[in-house]
Structure 1
Amino acid sequence: MTTEILLRYLHFISIFAIVGSLVSEHLLLKKTMTRKEIKKIAIIDGVYGMAALTLLAVGLTLWLGGYGKPTVFYSLNFIFHIKITLFATIGILSIYPTVFFIKNRKGDHEEVVAIPKSIFMLLRLELLILFIIPLLAGLMAKGIGHFG
Structure 2
Amino acid sequence: MEDLYIRYIHFFGIILLSATLFYELISFSRTLTNAQLKKLLWVDALLGISAVIVLISGGLLWSSFGKPSEFYTKNPIFHIKLTIFFLIAIISIFPTWFLLKNRKSTEAVISPPSYVLYIIKFEAALLIAIPLLAVLMARGVGLA
TM superposition score normalised by structure 1: 0.94
The aligned residue for residue 98 of structure 2 is 100
Inter-partner Cα distance in structure 2 for 1:112 and 1:5: 46
- In the TM superposition, 1:130-141 aligns within 5 A as 130-141=127-138
User: Which of 60, 75, 78 does residue 77 from structure 1 map onto?
Assistant: 75
| Count of residue pairs the alignment pairs up | 144
Inter-partner Cα distance in structure 2 for 1:77 and 1:30: 39
**Is the Cα contact below 8 Å between 2:25 and 2:124 reproduced in 1?**
no
Alignment of 1:40 onto 2:42: no
The aligned residue for residue 118 of structure 2 is 121
Inter-partner Cα distance in structure 1 for 2:112 and 2:86: 25
The Cα RMSD (Å) is 1.0
What is the SS of the residue equivalent to 1:146?
coil
Determine what percentage of the aligned residue pairs are the same residue.
40
Moved more, 126-135 or 29-38: 29-38
What is the SS of the residue equivalent to 1:8?
helix
By how many angstroms is 1:113 displaced? 1.0
By how many angstroms is 1:129 displaced? 0.4
The aligned residue for residue 89 of structure 1 is 87
Inter-partner Cα distance in structure 2 for 1:144 and 1:117: 38
Inter-partner Cα distance in structure 2 for 1:33 and 1:143: 45
Inter-partner Cα distance in structure 2 for 1:88 and 1:123: 14
Inter-partner Cα distance in structure 2 for 1:30 and 1:77: 39
What is the SS of the residue equivalent to 2:32?
strand
The aligned residue for residue 30 of structure 1 is 29
Moved more, 127-136 or 34-43: 34-43
State the one-letter code of the partner of 1:34: T
State the one-letter code of the partner of 2:44: D
TM superposition score normalised by structure 2: 0.96
Q: Which runs of 5+ in 2 are unaligned?
A: none
**Is the Cα contact below 8 Å between 1:39 and 1:106 reproduced in 2?**
no
